[in-house]
């Protein structure tokens, strides 16, 4: 209200209503991109999530630049929406800069909340005992999916491209990631989440996530100090195992606490709010234990799936997921910088060659996991392998850490990003084709 006179207070701070208006405007662009992209993708027979990713690319840094995030050489003047807001709200360039930073941070956090709710929902839809039944298979798939791409990538870069050990190890490590977000969303959209293949992929993706954290800890300390901080790596392994086992064993306790709360509350939100209290707390715990918030979300969903409020909870979570989850996938697309494909830049040309190698290893290395599973069942081994391919947001973290460590050459940096983009955008259509054709669950 009447913020016009107060738009920029003495401290140069932009007033909250304008920050809020910027968030609303960004969400409008993100939602339009998600719905148009998702819808087209769906009608072409692909999972909607592919369209959301591409919709994000179109409104993002690579094309229309409606929504962009601060980064190297990117300021408020690079964002069309921020320019629109600057004009319509009459802001100074300094105020626009501050607005850009604050709105970007808020949209990033909303997108984190999106993948968080996605994993909570996936946890609700998964069945703990089914998941435990395929536990050994899942661990095997995850381990093979870490070891094979890592070894092949690192050794290949050292022998064929004559790279030093440290950058080669870093690139190899980036190949080990699997994006739970992309994989689980596509599985849900294909109605394959509760099949045996789906459960193996999901379980393996979770284990892969934990392994990825450990691998990243190892290579990050290797890159910064030249040696591995055994204590830290040990601590991470201990906290990962402790967290997952702790949640599993405390499951019954958590459930009865939740049911007591849900039974006691007569006011609105009596089921969903207690469930989120639990999920958010486990998310916080996951982060401070140096794991990830989404592991807490998945664990919370998995545990609450065992209660008789499960169906109410699924129904209540759906619209919340509908408005938050697309933000995450569009933002992944928005942040995807396709300028790395521009062959006019010399590093990109070298990068493209390395990328071709990395992409081959990335796909074949994860495909191999399908043949690691054993047992008498006729499993769709190809589908399991393909399910592990997308690097998504997890791959981007490796790229960002590598870039920040300064150990990667610009060409290798470009190559890793290209590998992440390629595997991420390739996985949804590939998964569509390796699973038997069912109508897409819209």
Cβ atoms of 297 and 123 within 8 Å: the answer is yes
- DSSP for 285-312, please give it: HHHHTTS-HHHHHHHHHHHHTTSTTHHH
Q: Is 338 a residue that touches its own copies (CB under 8 A)?
A: no
Q: Is 267 a residue that touches its own copies (CB under 8 A)?
A: yes
Rounded to an integer, what distance in angstroms lies between the CA atom of residue 226 and that of residue 219? 9
- DSSP for 124-144, please give it: HHS-HHHHHHTHHHHHHHHHH
Rounded to an integer, what distance in angstroms lies between the CA atom of residue 352 and that of residue 366? 21
- Member of 54, 67, 186, 276 binding its own copies (CB under 8 A): 276
Rounded to an integer, what distance in angstroms lies between the CA atom of residue 43 and that of residue 53? 16
Touching its own copies, residues 145-174 (CB under 8 A)? none
Q: Is 134 a residue that touches its own copies (CB under 8 A)?
A: no
- Member of 127, 194, 224, 403 binding its own copies (CB under 8 A): 224
- The CB-of-374 to its own copies minimum distance in angstroms stands at 30
- The CB-of-377 to its own copies minimum distance in angstroms stands at 31
CA 217 to each of CA 69, 134, 288, 317, 419: distance values in angstroms, whole numbers, following the listed order: 26, 27, 15, 34, 21
CA neighbor of 275 nearest in space, from 240, 242, 241, 321 = 321
- Closer CB to its own copies, residue 83 or residue 108? 108
Cα angle for residues 98, 106, 417 (degrees, 5° grid):
95
Cβ atoms of 38 and 52 within 8 Å: the answer is yes
Q: Is 124 a residue that touches its own copies (CB under 8 A)?
A: no
- Closer CB to its own copies, residue 210 or residue 354? 210
Q: Is 314 a residue that touches its own copies (CB under 8 A)?
A: no
As separate numbers, helices (DSSP H) first and strands (DSSP E) second, the chain gives: 17, 0
Site string for its own copies, 358-387 (x = CB under 8 A): ------------------------------
Number of chain positions touching its own copies (CB under 8 A)? 83
Touching its own copies, residues 49-88 (CB under 8 A)? 85, 88
Cβ atoms of 217 and 291 within 8 Å: the answer is no
Considering only the stretches 140-148, 155-163, 286-294, 383-391, report the one whose residues sit in contact with its own copies under the rule CB under 8 A: 286-294
Q: Is 353 a residue that touches its own copies (CB under 8 A)?
A: no
Cβ atoms of 56 and 329 within 8 Å: the answer is yes
Touching its own copies, residues 194-213 (CB under 8 A)? 212-213
- The CB-of-14 to its own copies minimum distance in angstroms stands at 10
- Member of 401, 415, 416, 427 binding its own copies (CB under 8 A): 401
State whether residue 8 is helix, strand or coil: strand
CA dihedral of residues 6, 11, 16, 22 (deg, nearest 10): 100
Q: Is 293 a residue that touches its own copies (CB under 8 A)?
A: yes
- Closer CB to its own copies, residue 104 or residue 423? 104
Considering only the stretches 37-45, 301-309, 328-336, 351-359, report the one whose residues sit in contact with its own copies under the rule CB under 8 A: 37-45
- Member of 159, 160, 249, 281 binding its own copies (CB under 8 A): 281
- The CB-of-90 to its own copies minimum distance in angstroms stands at 9
């Amino acid at each position: 209200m009447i913020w016009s006179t107060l738009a920029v207070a003495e401290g140069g701070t932009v007033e909250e209503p304008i920050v809020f208006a910027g968030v609303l405007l960004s969400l409008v662009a993100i939602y339009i991109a998600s719905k148009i992209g998702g819808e087209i993708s769906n009608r072409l027979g692909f999972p909607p999530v592919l369209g959301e990713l591409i919709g994000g690319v179109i409104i993002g840094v690579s094309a229309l630049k409606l929504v962009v995030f601060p980064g190297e050489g990117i300021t408020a003047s690079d964002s069309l929406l921020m320019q629109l807001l600057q004009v319509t709200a009459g802001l100074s360039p300094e105020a626009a800069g501050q607005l850009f930073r604050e709105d970007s941070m808020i949209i990033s956090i909303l997108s984190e909340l999106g993948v968080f709710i996605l994993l909570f929902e996936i946890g609700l839809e998964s069945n703990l005992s089914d998941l435990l039944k395929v536990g050994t298979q899942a661990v095997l798939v995850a381990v093979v999916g870490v070891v094979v791409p890592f070894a092949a990538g690192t050794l290949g870069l050292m022998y064929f491209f004559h790279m030093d050990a440290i950058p080669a190890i870093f690139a190899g490590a980036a190949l080990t990631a699997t994006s739970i977000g992309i994989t689980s969303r596509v599985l849900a959209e294909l109605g394959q989440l509760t099949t045996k293949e789906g459960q193996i992929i999901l379980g393996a993706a979770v284990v892969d996530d934990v392994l990825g954290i450990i691998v990243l800890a190892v290579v990050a300390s290797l890159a910064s100090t030249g040696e591995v901080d055994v204590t830290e790596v040990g601590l991470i392994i201990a906290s990962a195992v402790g967290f997952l086992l702790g949640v599993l064993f405390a499951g019954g306790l958590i459930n009865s606490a939740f049911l007591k709360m849900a039974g006691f509350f007569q006011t609105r939100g009596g089921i969903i709010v207690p469930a989120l209290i639990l999920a958010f707390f486990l998310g916080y715990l996951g982060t401070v234990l140096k794991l990830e918030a989404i592991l807490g979300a998945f664990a919370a969903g998995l545990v609450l799936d065992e209660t008789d409020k499960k169906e109410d909870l699924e129904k209540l979570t759906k619209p919340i997921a509908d408005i938050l989850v697309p933000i995450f996938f569009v933002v992944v697309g928005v942040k995807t910088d396709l300028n790395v494909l521009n062959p006019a830049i010399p590093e990109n040309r070298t990068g493209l060659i390395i990328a071709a190698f990395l992409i081959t290893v990335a796909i074949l290395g994860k495909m191999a996991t399908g043949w690691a599973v054993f047992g008498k069942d006729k499993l769709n081994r190809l589908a399991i392998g393909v399910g592990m391919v997308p690097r998504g947001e997890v791959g981007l973290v490796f790229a960002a850490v590598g870039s920040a460590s300064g150990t990667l050459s610009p060409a290798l940096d470009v190559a890793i990003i290209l590998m992440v983009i390629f595997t991420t955008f390739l996985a949804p259509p590939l998964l569509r084709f390796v699973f038997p054709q069912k109508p897409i669950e819209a």
